[in-house]
Structure 1
Amino acid sequence: MLVVGRWQLRAAMRAAEETAAAGLAQANAIYRAALDAVRAQGHIEHVKWRRGIQRDSYAAFLQSVLRYHDYASNLEPSTEDEELRSRTAGLKPLEAEMSHKGWVVRLEGPEEVSAAARDLQLAATTLAIVIRGHALQMSAVASISGQIQDHPREVARIWELIPIL
């Protein structure tokens, strides 16, 4: 009977050890699954956050380009050189803002978006230069036209020289 009791005790101990090992394995599997779920959720949240940052930087850049373009488009010829110079000086802070936001886009975006931002910024700057040049030319033309009655010979000579320049 003593031998049977020992066997039963050993069998009970083995069963307890196997149950404990199975319980640990199950707990470990549950822990790993929970950890994987938290990692996956963290990754999803990070991707959403990153997309939000990118979207905000793209929108801010586009708004700054539009402000720069709108300001440049509203440059009109003026008979006063100082007035035109002061209005064109207003482009500088807008250009600086556009450049700053463009760098943020380049840092946050993929290469295709960075290249598109550089191209858009260059196009906006070039357009502003052309508009500013046109406003200066039109101001000069208006000034020359205003002087026709006072100095007709000099104005005629200027009109002859303009195509040469």
Structure 2
Amino acid sequence: MDLEGIGAISAAAVAALGVSAAVLVGRWQMRGALRAAEETGRAGVAQAQSTYRAALDAVHTEADAAHLQWRRSIRRDAYAGFLLAMTRCVQAAEALPRGRLADTSEDLSAAKGELARARNDLNSALWVVKLEGPPAVANGAEGVSLLTFELADALARKAEFHRAASSLHHLSSSNPVAAELDAALMGLAVTVDEMGYNAQPGSGETPPREVTDGVERVRVLYGRLSDDIDTAEWVALLNEALNYLTNPQELQNQLSSTVEQLLPVCRQALDDQSRSGHDSPPSE
């Protein structure tokens, strides 16, 4: 083979080696590019996931805060509604007419209806407080409710007595027996006070002879006026003379004290609601 042939073969071999090297270099470069792209993709996905988690956490935090604020608002409205219903119940009882029944029959019926509605509203408001809780507030509210109903009953009985006393005083102007009964009832009240006799239910105290004699006297006088004074009026007059009825002022003082004890419990419950996440919905 001459030199030209040998040169051609050598050039071809060199060219072939050059092509193979170029292919290898290209593959290495492509693999490097793929690895770089893969790493970039992983980093991008990780960043996206981190951003998503941060956004999701922020949404959950805002939702939890909004839920807690909503729950606190519900409780506050429940507590305020209960205290308002309590006040209206007492006011309705205080508004019962105390004048002569004959002059206030329509007013008395309307006032009794208003008191019945106020009692129902208070009972409903109590159930809302019990539902919203917490137990410390619910228990305190129940005590306030019981005292309110007791006070309303006492005020109703006191108003009934005043109406009966007004009727008896009006009758006394034209009936000597009514005037005598009026005086006898006042005398019985003085005797009960002087003797320190306690006619309250459950006292178990035996009435003194002076009290027993006074009760018998007013009963005899009432027997002569039974057509003019009905049984309900008579019972109201006798109970008042015996100091049998609970003093509304004492109950009013107890109620005020109990409400004052309830208020800080309500405030504490609202503050705890603002700070705690116990009532918030679980995060996904």
TM-score under structure 2 length normalisation: 0.52
- Pick from 52, 73, 87 the counterpart of residue 31 of structure 1: 52
Residues 25-64 of structure 1 mapped to structure 2, 5 A cutoff: 25-64=46-85
Displaced runs of 4 or more, over 6 A: none
After TM superposition, give the deviation of residue 17 of structure 1 in Å: 0.7
For structure 1, which segment, 94-103 or 75-84, has the greater mean C-alpha deviation from structure 2 after superposition? 75-84
* Aligned mates of 2:75, 2:147 — CA distance in 1: 22
Structure 1 residues 147 and 15 mapped into 2: Cα distance closer, same or farther (>3 Å)?
same
Cα pair 1:147 1:155 within 8 Å, conserved: no
- Pick from 163, 174, 177 the counterpart of residue 152 of structure 1: 177
Residue 132, structure 1, aligned to residue 156, structure 2: yes
Aligned to 1:3: 24
More helix by share: 1
For structure 1, which segment, 54-63 or 44-53, has the greater mean C-alpha deviation from structure 2 after superposition? 54-63
**Secondary structure in structure 2 of the residue aligned to 1:71:** helix
After TM superposition, give the deviation of residue 156 of structure 1 in Å: 6.8
Aligned to 1:110: 134
* Aligned mates of 1:148, 1:79 — CA distance in 2: 13
Residue 121, structure 1, aligned to residue 121, structure 2: no
Q: 1:155 is matched by which residue type in structure 2?
A: L
**Secondary structure in structure 1 of the residue aligned to 2:51:** helix
Residue 96, structure 1, aligned to residue 120, structure 2: yes
Structure 1 residues 147 and 106 mapped into 2: Cα distance closer, same or farther (>3 Å)?
same
Q: 1:142 is matched by which residue type in structure 2?
A: S
- Number of aligned residues: 165
**Secondary structure in structure 2 of the residue aligned to 1:90:** helix
* Aligned mates of 1:9, 1:121 — CA distance in 2: 83
* Aligned mates of 1:77, 1:132 — CA distance in 2: 10
User: What residue ranges of structure 2 are gaps of 5+ in the alignment?
Assistant: 1-20, 186-213, 216-237, 245-284
**Secondary structure in structure 2 of the residue aligned to 1:77:** coil
**Secondary structure in structure 1 of the residue aligned to 2:76:** helix
User: What residue ranges of structure 1 are gaps of 5+ in the alignment?
Assistant: none
Residue 72, structure 1, aligned to residue 72, structure 2: no
After TM superposition, give the deviation of residue 59 of structure 1 in Å: 1.7
Aligned-residue CA RMSD in angstroms? 2.5
Cα pair 1:58 1:105 within 8 Å, conserved: yes
